[in-house]
Structures are given as structure tokens and as C-alpha cells.
A = this chain, B = another copy of it.
Amino acid sequence: MLLYIDNRYSKNEQMKVSKINEKEIIDIICTNFSAKKNVVVGAGKDDCAVIGLGKCYLILTTDMLHKKADFLDRMSPYQIGWMTVACNLSDIASMGATPFAFVVAIGIPNDTDTVFLEGLGDGMEACASKYGVSIVGGDVDRHDELTLVGTAIGKVDKSRLVKREGAKAGDLLCVTGNPGSAQAGLRIALGKNGASKNAEDTLLGALFEPEPRIKEGIELSKFATSMTDTSDSLATSAHDLATQSKTGFNIHEKQIPILEEVKSISKSKKDLRELFLYGGGDFELLFTINPKDLDFASKKVTFSVIGKAVSEGVYFDDPKEKVEFRGYRHF
């Protein structure tokens, strides 16, 4: 029993968390964590945790969203609810798994209108039921700042699990959807643009009601050698696959399928890269496949080949230029 006096840590050098990055924070918290042998993928290693249970793997992920960091004034309660579910389902999709249950803890400010709760609940249910997921429980608490923590569970046959690790040199690098759409939507939401009404609708939709790629992830689990979602940026995701797979990537910039609406609000080539390469918020899948599977995979899922796995480094190949390891950062 330690009671309220706990001097064990006083000899360590102290530093404020504002001075260290997200990975360093996680490493400190996890210093003494140990996992049982049924844990296939543990804390901080992939988009989700993976635990053996009978013939399948259970897939688990949790995500905190809160007003100051994640919710713009233009977001409706319905969209906040949708996003709370979608961001977790996207992580489940990236493992090739099928989500089936969701729980949510909600910290609610006292001055919240009940009508907000209706929209919030409907948005969560809309996203969950669209993807076959039951919202089975939760917790509500009074909180100064609207805070939503969703946790999703999925399952996958042991032979179908796809991790960030697994890409081999020669594999094709592929992506679903259109990189940069959500980041362009964010620019519109913040009022920094002269977008047309059509562009505005498309890009705000991409930002506020992203579709987790559940069906695509399940199909791709037959082919993909590595996979992650692109929520923190295309660049971050490519580096994550490269690091975990111990490979690199040559990316063919011209083959990245960027929407005309995104191009229309960018000010320069450099600015466009900030949107499609370093911008966050897209819930697309970035994955690798063996070239021999390309034709068959293409019949099952809509995606674009944007590069090739090489021995090391993440570069654009024409002209050769380094892709930085950066994107949306929580810290």
C-alpha cells in the first residue's frame, strides 16, 4: 500500500510535457508495461492493439476528441457524433478487421443543450449502424470541455491480420480516396479561401463526415502486405509503414489522385503538398501489395497506385526529393 506519499519518482529529472513529443510521452507512460503472451500487437505499435482470442484476433482502439483540438464551430452535433465513431472505425479498418462493438465516454459541459445530445447520439448511431457496429455502452460525466472518448472492437481471422509491418521492396504503394481533401476542408472551414460552393460542399464533407474504409480494409486483408490509415497525413503514414516494415518508398507524386477542388484552393505546388502530403483528417487506407495481386485487388477495391517499396528512405522519385516525416500532431 503506497497511500498518499509516493517518493519513488523524486530523483528523476523533471520536465514539462510541453517540451516533449507524443512518442516520448507514450514511452514514459509505458516504461514498465508488460503484456501477456496472447497480446500480438501492444501499446503504441500500430493503429490498433491485437489480442489472440480463440480462432480470431480481437482488435482494439481508443481515441480522444475534445472541443479545443477537434471540433470547429461549423461542425454540427451530428457530425461530432459521426466523427467520434468514424475515427475509431478507420483504425479498425486499417488492420483488415471487422468492427462490431463501440463504447463511448462523454464529458459534457453543464451549459450544453439537450438538443445537442440528440444530434450527437444520432450521429454516433448513423456511423456505427452504417458499418454494422453496435454502440453497447458508455459513461457520461460533467466536464468543463466537451470530451469524447470512443473505443471500438473488431475481429479478424488470424490469417487476415494486416499490420504496418510487412511491406517488401518491390511491393506497390497504394491509397484509397483522394489525399488532401479533409485538410482542404479545414482551410475552408477556417475561412481562408475563395472556394466555389461545390468545392466547399465536397471538401467540408470530407472533413466533417469522413467514411471509414471498412469494406475496403476487409477486401484488402486478402492482398495487403502492410496497411495503415492516413488520418495524421499521407507523409506520416508512409513513414510509419516504412519504419515498421524496414523499407522505404519511392512515391510518384503525379499519380497521387488529388481532387480538382483541392487544387483549386491551393496557392502553389508547395502549398498543394501541404494539403495532400502533410495535411491530416483523411480516413483513407495507405497500403502495399505484391504487383502480382494488382489486377485482382483492383477489381475488388477502388484505389490508386502511388509508388513502390524500396530498400530505404521515403522520397518523391521525379525529381528525387525527400518526403518529411510530419503531419497532424497531438502534441
Contact = CB atoms under 8 A, between A and B. Distances in A.
Given A108-B17, A125-B34, A330-B142, A136 B51 contact: yes
Contacts of A153: 58, 60, 153
A29 B140 contact: yes
**Most B-side CB within 10 Å, residue of A32, A137, A155:** A137
Contacts of A29: 106, 117-118, 120-121, 124, 138, 140
A101 interface: yes
Given A125-B33, A149-B62, A205 B3 contact: yes
B74 A4 contact: yes
Interface in A101-124: 101, 103-115, 117-122, 124
A118 B9 contact: yes
Nearest to A31: B121
A26 interface: yes
A291 interface: no
B134 A35 contact: yes
**Most B-side CB within 10 Å, residue of A2, A20, A113, A331:** A2
Interface stretch (A64-72, A254-262, A279-287): A64-72
Tell me if A's interface is mostly helix, strand, loop or mixed: mixed
Interface of A: 1-6, 8-10, 12-18, 20, 22, 25-26, 28-36, 38-39, 41-44, 48-51, 53-55, 58, 60-64, 66, 68-69, 74-79, 100-101, 103-115, 117-122, 124-125, 129, 132, 134-145, 147, 149, 151, 153, 155, 189, 201, 204-205, 208-209, 330-331
24 contacts: A2-B209, A3-B208, A12-B114, A16-B112, A16-B113, A18-B111, A28-B114, A33-B135, A36-B134, A39-B134, A43-B135, A43-B137, A44-B138, A54-B54, A60-B151, A62-B138, A62-B149, A64-B106, A64-B139, A64-B141, A64-B143, A142-B331, A144-B144, A144-B145
